[in-house]
Amino acid sequence: MANLKQYLDGMHRGNPPREVFFVEDFVNESNVDGRINLTPKAYQRLFHADKLWQQQFLVSFFVEGIVIPEIALRLGENIPEEYDSEVMDGCQRVSTVLAFTRGEVCLPDIPELEELTFEGAIKTEDLRGKFYKQLSPFARKHFNNQQIGAMLYYDIDSIFAGFLFTDVLNNTNTLNPQEKRQAISSAMSRQIQEWCRFDSVLPIFETKTNGDLKYIKGANHSRLDVDKTLAELVYMLNTSDWTKTGTTGKVITDFYKNQAKNYQDKFGNASFVVKVLNQVNQAFRGYKTANTLGLKAWRNFSYLLGEIIGNGSKIDPIEFIKVYMKAIDNLKKVAPMEGLTGSPYELRMRGNGGEDTKVALQLIRDEMNSIGFHQVLLDKKRTFTRDQVAQAYREQNGICAICGEEMPEFNEDVHGDHILLYKDGHPTTQDNCAAVHSTCNWRK
């Protein structure tokens, strides 16, 4: 019988392709310094074991004749994050074993567990509905000595691990394209999943009780469409290549492979994407009508907002989305050409090729410009200089423009305030500067 600790320590010899370990090994090693990653994001499936499934699986450790399925274990070099190994296939099974020992799940109340005999015990035991701590020492020993077979993969990179998971280990299960991509683990892949589902700090991806997203129409995490669309946005913000390649399935898959090959530990433009998404959050959560936009329209809005931010300009995201939605509404009202079933904008939005995406975005840009897009851009310079404030102070004869009361002799307690609001797109220039009490400015 193999010793799991030796394998985790790198002392395996001959690299056997398969081994058998005790249940007790997984319990001990998984609870010490996080040596085994039991829930690697790369292999997260749509299926998550519920209590009933876990209970039925635990029966296989106590009732003879039920085969315990083997798992797949990745060891050695190239393991993402801080672990020594990861369970590539069998995450739900190993997690259930640990959940049982931690008292999170009990055995089911079924007849097969009513009278069981264990080595060393004088009488039979009834295990129906019992938790691990309620088992006799004989029943616990029996459970801990059960064997789990494991296919072992050594020193493989994330691209090959993704291939194994999607084409070998899950060859009897249907994986959707995004599940296959996320099995190709990288810093970018893991970050996208974390943003979307793993205790996300981005409220834009919050869900209702039925799983639908609160702020994006027709979006649900169940088929990983949100992950797919976010991956498209990250790709578009990462490189201008999308104007030639588009955002087709193959393009995004190749993007995942490139990230896994070259950027395993660092996601280069993560901070910029977060900056964009934070403003997208403000727009969609601050303007209720925005929740009528679907995922692709959400992606295009986010990309256009990213263009503005990337150019160093500032913008009020709520005003920006108002103009964006008005532009889309206008574009949809354009009469289709004879024989076609939609406006030029709608037809372009149906494709994911480079030309379709590029033309759809240009149509939106042009329409936003015709509506008055420039009005929602903010002056890059937001703060008035002290000379500008001093001049306004003199012109106002020391009277506060907000409260109408006299201000003290000019000092740091005299602030400059925009006469026409900065957030409405008005500039930080002398003719738009008013001198005010600092307290009035803060209360405003």
- If one counts the domains in the chain, the total is 3
Q: Which of 378, 402, 425 is the last residue of a domain?
A: 378
Token code pair at residue 278: 């934070």
Domain shared by 156 and 224, yes or no: no
Query: In which domain, by residue range, is 15 found?
Result: 4-169
**CA–CA gap between residue 298 and residue 290 (Å, rounded):** 9
What does the pLDDT look like over 241-256, one tens digit per residue?
999 999 999 999 999 9
Domain shared by 267 and 195, yes or no: yes
Mean pLDDT score, 268-290: 91
pLDDT band at residue 217, thresholds of 50, 70 and 90?
very high
pTM equals: 0.68
Domain shared by 234 and 374, yes or no: yes
Domain shared by 311 and 182, yes or no: yes
Q: Find out whether 290 and 255 touch, Cβ atoms under 8 Å.
A: no
What does the pLDDT look like over 130-179, one tens digit per residue?
999 999 999 999 999 999 998 899 989 889 988 888 877 776 566 788 88
The mean pLDDT value of the chain amounts to 86
Ramachandran region, residue 338 (left: φ > 0; alpha: ψ -120 to 50; beta: rest): beta
Domain shared by 81 and 230, yes or no: no
> What long-range pairs does 272-277 form, CB within 8 A, spacing at least 24?
272/237, 272/306, 272/309, 272/310, 273/233, 273/234, 273/237, 275/309, 276/237, 276/302, 276/305, 276/306, 276/309, 277/195, 277/202, 277/204, 277/302
Domain shared by 431 and 294, yes or no: no
Q: Which of 148, 169, 190 is the last residue of a domain?
A: 169
What does the pLDDT look like over 103-115, one tens digit per residue?
999 999 999 999 9
Q: Which of 347, 378, 409 is the last residue of a domain?
A: 378
Mean pLDDT score, 423-429: 73
Domain shared by 145 and 110, yes or no: yes
pLDDT band at residue 209, thresholds of 50, 70 and 90?
confident
Domain shared by 135 and 191, yes or no: no
Domain shared by 194 and 298, yes or no: yes
